[in-house]
Structure 1
Amino acid sequence: MASVHVPLVLSKPRRSGALAALLFALTACESTPSDKAPGPVVEEEAASPVVTIDAMDNEQHVLRGGFQLDAGVVRVEVYEGSILLGLAVLEDGRWSIPWQPGHESESLEVVAYHDGGTEVRTRLAFQRLGFGTQDSLYAAEALLTLPTSPDTTTRYTLDGSTPGPTSPVYTAPLVLLNRRGQPAPLSLIPTNPAESPEPWRWKPPTAPTTLATVVRVRRFAGETPVDAGQARTYLIGQPRAYTLPVLSLATDAVNFFGDEQGIYVPGRVYAETPGPMQGWGTGNYMQDGKDWERPVHVEWFDAAGATVFAQNAGVRIHGSGSAAMPQKSLRLYAKEEYGPELFQADVFPDHPLREFKRLIVRTSGQDQVGSKLRDCVLQGLLRETSLALQACQPTLVFLDGEYWGLHELRERYDEYYVATHHGLKRKDIVILEGDGILDTGEDADVLPYQELLAYVREHDLSVPEHFAYVAARIDVEDFIDYHIAEVYFGNEDWPDNNVKFWRLRGGEASGDTGPGDGRWRWLLHDLDAAFVGGPEANSLGRLLRDERLGESFVVLFRSLMKSPDFKGLFVSRFQWHLENTFATERVLALLDEAAARLAPEMAEHVARWGYPASVESWQAEVEWMRECARRRPEALQRYLREELGAP
């Protein structure tokens, strides 16, 4: 049932339950049960003071609400249907009364009597929810029935924490109300030190935080849990549904915010070893590995509010420098120790895969202070190439029921990604990063790349045989497309950072002519610094000549440029991309589509985090990217002529 708050002023006080029933019947047309799913709740404006029903202590069975303190309220009566429950206790503009709903409960009505002889009332009709059903994320005020079984005790929590042997025992339907105005304590916890540089220093929210209700349930035999538990998230009485999917994460708050073990705060690590704040500093959030993985329950809802998947998983902080910023990226792990070994769902539109071992919940990295869409939308420009790319789905996150802002659900580059995308054996995947540092594989797996770099230093690649040696060890077309993309984007956090590449160990002996052939291929990622230098940035000249770039990061590209064959392929392919992949109209269309997708949610995100600084500054940043899209092709055509003698 949809809930309706209808203030009504009567000329005479109500005297009996019978009259209450009559008045309720005369005005209940707006709360008539419907077969349709409840829509957003709209609270009507009224000139007269309104008494509210806004809180329920399900453990102590106490119903609460408020009234205008200066309105002369002298008495508040509470009715369940037509039955008077009693007089509420009044204190400082708040009222409270003991109440335990039954399985047949349907509605409440609260009447506030004024000293002038008038009364104001509010009615509330409950929707009925069953915990085990696939209810929508969005619901009206509701009575929730939890699962029970003989010989066990059902315990629950409503704050995201895991139910334990001392958690409340379920004895009656839970009352779920809109949590507007309730505290949001997690949002007030600083997530980097006060000494952090001002451009990315944590800021408190500037508006009330939207709160969901996370119901976690677990059955116990005595003090021993007999199952892994379940969880369900509800957004009760929302004025509007969100326009994006929603990811709800539930965990014991200490796992994210405890000084000793919290992965989202400076914590003990910063207290003991602060580090220089002119860099990224130190903190619990800079730690990695299994020791810094925490259990979490994950629910992901599509834009309509339907559950896509729900399961227990592991979570770690994701990223390097960006982990020091206020809003942090997360990495989700599907593991047998928590539950299902895969995330199985159609998470990404138009994506061939529906099974994922790991997922990233990304904040846009350092671009969280700018456009919040660079990496996602710019990778999307390259979907029609053969480059490795990470699927992306903009998503809103709630953490233990508190609104946590805009993120992107992403694929993660790792051995699982490569194996599933190309149908290869995971154990033979080798991934290196930077200038040849081992990421995935065995120590000896770095040798083939070290030998390749040694070869290009010692041989002139203008000699066809020497170029052929290199072409047998790297996918030349992949290497060219990868470098063209980075140059077009003018990525200033590359090539001496954010470099990953992979090969299949032993693939060179397989006779495979595709991704399993043992050649090195590159993984495009982290475009947060794209277009930072503006539309005229000569990123091609920087790649060719800038001595500040470490030699080991650029020696392969610069050596290949000595080959007429490679240089000709690079120039012709670059010009094709500028006319097609990076055609101004195409880039503008994708930018506009991405910005339109985020726009309805940007104001609430800005109020929560303070980054971007305002909706207007975000719009200005997106417009700057549009300007780059308009002018970048002409500038790069000029640099191709000046630097490489292109026609």
Structure 2
Amino acid sequence: MLSPFREMSRSVLLLCAVSLSACQEDAPPPDETQQHAEQSVPHVTIDGMDNTAGVLRGTIQGQGAIRAVGIQVDGELIGWAEVRGDQWSIRWRPLPGTRSVSVVAHDGSGEPGRAWLELDHVDFDAPHALYHAASLLTLPTAEGRVTRFTLDGSTPSASAPVYVAPLMLLRPSGEPAPLSEIPTNPPETPVDWRWLPPAEPVGRAAVVRFQQFVGTTPVGASGTRTYLIGASHGPLPVMSLTVDPEHLFGFEHGIYVPGRVHAEDPRPEWIWGNGNYHQSGKDWERPLHVEWFLPEGTPVISHGAGVRIHGSGSAALPHKSLRLYAKEDYGPKTFRAAIFPGSELEEFTRLIVRTSGQDLLSTKIRDCALQGLLRETSLHLQACRPTVLYINGEYWGLHELRERYDEYYVASHHGLNRKKVTILEHDGVLDTGEDGDEVPYRALLDYVRTNDVSQPEHFAHVESQMDVDDFIDYQIAEIFFANADWPQNNTKFWRYTEPEVNGPAAKDGRWRWLLYDLDGAFLGDPAYDSLARVLTDETLPEWSVVLLRNLLTNTDFKRRFVSRFLWHLDTTFTPERVTSHLDSLVGQVEAEMPAHIERWRYPTSLDVWRYNVDAMRAFAQVRPGHVRQHLEVAFGL
């Protein structure tokens, strides 16, 4: 097949050469780093670089039948691109000192189209930053070793591409995003939360992994870096997870897909069905590389870790929460970073990259916002920071970086020995600890059932076993928020198993509660009497309400409960404070929502998202007045 060069007349070729020389005179000023295109006929773009094959490519749109695309590097013509339809491409690899690439295109009309870009130079070993203009990336090399690299997230093997020239990193245009096209729940999923393909091309970052080899043996340096070219996420930090694709999306062992487990046992009788993503434990933990960047692009975390799917029913939703484990098996044993503003903690053993649970269909900020209202109380809460996620360079949408409730959380917040922390759930089911650690809590429930806690001596015994003030704040929050998925669900509590009589409060051995999963709260009718539900609804499991109902027979407890509730209504839950807090959080994420919705199609539109956020604001305006009435009815105020 003849190249376009051989098919053109001498006059056209002369015009092309003259125009390429003129392109040098039209070059942008030295500080210009973005790609430019003059709106002429034809219109030409520089869209991408296949660093593995060594092919530069772009598009051309013109009126004439004859097209020629000439490529100039640092002012010198290097050749003519092959044109097929509206696409052009040329085999080329940049030299280490390459500074600019220019393209001039002709369609026979006499009017040339031009595009150009200037290249920053980035050394892999230099201090890292997330955000860059178009760049040339230099990887480490060593005598006697072969440097191999990957760009798809996979670990470089002895068969990976060999590094022979700097990698050209451009703002992606038309780059494939294969992971985003993989269904993450089965086709029989209810239509309201069935996986949908992205509405628009998925945003991309460049993820570069390299490893040096002697023969087929990996030796010496290796590394993983993420670069986001020509784009930004404004006030939001960014997390990049780089992982062998099979670990998340493979049929046999991929933890993010229905996979083999669903094929063998779909469990249609359960609304959430079944899949690889419902499996738990160490066998379903996968290695990956974690990077976390501050909003300005400064890297704070960059090392290996483990990942599992987080959540139970919500794992069947298309967009899934992830749990990250810092372990010496993969790298440092903690994530060291001041992740959460206002928190004194700067080391974390486990983190959750949360999708907002069922609220991913609605506001995506509900649990984060409601827990944040309680920061000034002594309740145990999960710190929250909205964060944009990329997986293997593919835009994965808006998430919340969260603390995880476990023995590490309790130990780090109170300076405790984690091995002496017990966490229970529901009616005393052991979550963390040793067999038998549940006995004291079940004994407490039995004591409340069989003794008249209206009497001071029995109430005193109860108070010696549980932090009553903590329990009161916990109950008030859940009741005010009208959490429909509580108290029969989402209940956890903890104690220190070796009490110290004169030690700090956290070591007194009393039970304290963990507030979490408020995705079913602040919904529906703000006049709903959730207090009456907790006090009188006989359909609720007895274990879930026995403490509150029986303790309210004690005059002192009732006084403390009511006065504390009124105080919260006058301070914590005032409409002005709640609305201001919501607006602050919305301000952080609103600009990101269009891209997130295009990626996941949930919420179904930006207007629907705004409607649901406004519903929370409206709920906040009238909820305190209704709850005052509920208190009056219940306690005759």
TM-score, structure 1 length as denominator? 0.94
1:532 maps to 2:523: yes
Aligned with residue 626 of structure 1, among 617, 623, 628? 617
Q: Which position in structure 1 is the counterpart of 2:4?
A: none
Cα deviation, 1:255-311, whole Å, max 9, x if unaligned, reads 111110111111111111011265111011000000111111111111111112111
Contact persistence 1:13–1:118 (CA under 8 A): no
The residue aligned with 2:25 is: 26
2:403 to 411, 417, 442: 411
Show the counterpart of 2:3: none
Q: Is the 8 A contact 1:21 1:81 kept in 2?
A: no
> 1:178-231: CA deviations, max 9, x gaps?
112222111111111111112211111111111111011122222122257311
- Alpha-carbon separation, structure 2, partners of 1:587 and 1:79: 58
Q: Which runs of 5+ in 1 are unaligned?
A: 1-11
Q: Distance in 2 between matches of 1:643 and 1:624?
A: 27
- Whether 2:634 is the aligned partner of 1:635: answer no
**Which residue does 2:106 correspond to in 1?**
113
Contact residue 48 and residue 57 of structure 2 kept, 8 A: yes
Give 1:437 shift: 0.6
Shift of 1:74: 2.4
Q: Which residue of 2 aligns with 1:386?
A: 378
TM-score using structure 2 length = 0.95
2:364 aligned partner, one-letter code: K
Distance 1:433 1:225 in 2: 46
Instruction: State the alpha-carbon separation in 2 of the partners of residues 307 and 24 from structure 1.
Output: 38
Distance in 2, matches of 1:616 and 1:277, equals 34
Give me the whole-angstrom Cα distance separating, in 1, the residues matched to 2:258 and 2:439.
38
Match of 1:550 in 2: 541
Q: Distance in 2 between matches of 1:198 and 1:96?
A: 42
Which residue number in structure 1 is paired with residue 78 of structure 2? Answer: 85
Query: Counterpart of 1:605?
Result: 596
Do the aligned partners of residues 501 and 187 (structure 1) sit closer, same or farther apart at CA in structure 2, a change above 3 Å counting?
same
Q: Output the CA distance in 2 between the equivalents of 1:86 and 1:447.
A: 80
Match of 1:94 among 62, 87, 90: 87
Distance 1:241 1:329, change over 3 A: closer
Q: Equivalences for 1:369-518 in 2 at 5 Å? A: 369-507=361-499, 509-518=500-509
Deviation at 1:346? 1.2
Which of 147, 152, 156 is 1:159 aligned to? 152
Q: Which of these residues, 160, 178, 188, is aligned with residue 185 of structure 1?
A: 178
Distance 1:75 1:513 in 2: 79
Contact 1:195–1:277 under 8 Å retained in 2:
no
The letter of the residue matching 1:566 is F
Q: Which amino acid aligns with 2:41?
A: S
Residues 319-330 of structure 1: pairs in structure 2 closer than 5 A: 319-330=311-322
**What is the deviation of 1:152?**
2.2
Which of these residues, 566, 576, 585, is aligned with residue 576 of structure 2? 585
* Letter aligned with residue 194 of structure 1: P
The residue correspondences of 1:55-94 to structure 2 (distance < 5 A) are: 55-68=48-61, 71-94=64-87
SS at match of 2:591: helix
Name the structure 2 match of 1:3: none
Distance 2:404 2:38 in 1: 48
Distance in 1 of aligned mates of 2:433 and 2:38 = 64
Which residue number corresponds to residue 4 of structure 1?
none
State yes or no: 1:149 paired with 2:142. yes
Percentage identity across paired residues of the two chains: 53
Match of 1:5 in 2: none
Amino acid at match of 1:556: L
Give the letter aligned to residue 331 of structure 1.
Answer: R
Relative to structure 1, the CA distance from residue 498 to residue 613 in structure 2 (aligned partners, 3 Å threshold; closer, same or farther) is same
Contact 2:123-2:139 at 8 Å conserved across structures: yes
Counterpart of 1:9? none
**Shift of residue 123 of structure 1?**
1.5
Alignment of 1:552-567 (within 5 A): 552-567=543-558
Aligned positions, number:
627
Which one of 324, 334, 352 corresponds to residue 332 of structure 1? 324
Cα pair distance change 1:69/1:13, threshold 3 Å? closer
Q: Secondary structure at the match of 1:314?
A: strand
Decide whether aligned partners of structure 1 residues 143 and 20 sit closer, same or farther in structure 2, where only a CA change above 3 A counts.
Answer: farther
Shift in alpha-carbon separation, 1:345–1:47, aligned structure 2, 3 A: same
Question: Which residues in structure 2 correspond to 1:183-222 (within 5 Å)?
Answer: 183-222=176-215
Cα shift readout 1:560-613 (whole Å, capped 9, x = no counterpart): 111111111100000000000111110010011111211101111111111111
In 1, the alpha carbon distance for the partners of 2:575 and 2:35 equals: 43
**Aligned-residue CA RMSD (Å):** 1.8
Seen in structure 2, the aligned counterparts of structure 1 residues 70 and 486 have a Cα distance that, compared at 3 Å, is same
- Sort the Cα spacing of 1:548 and 1:160 in 2 relative to 1 into closer, same or farther, 3 A: same
Q: Within 2, Cα distance between the matches of 1:137 and 1:14?
A: 42
Mapped contact 1:197–1:277 kept (Cα < 8 A) = no
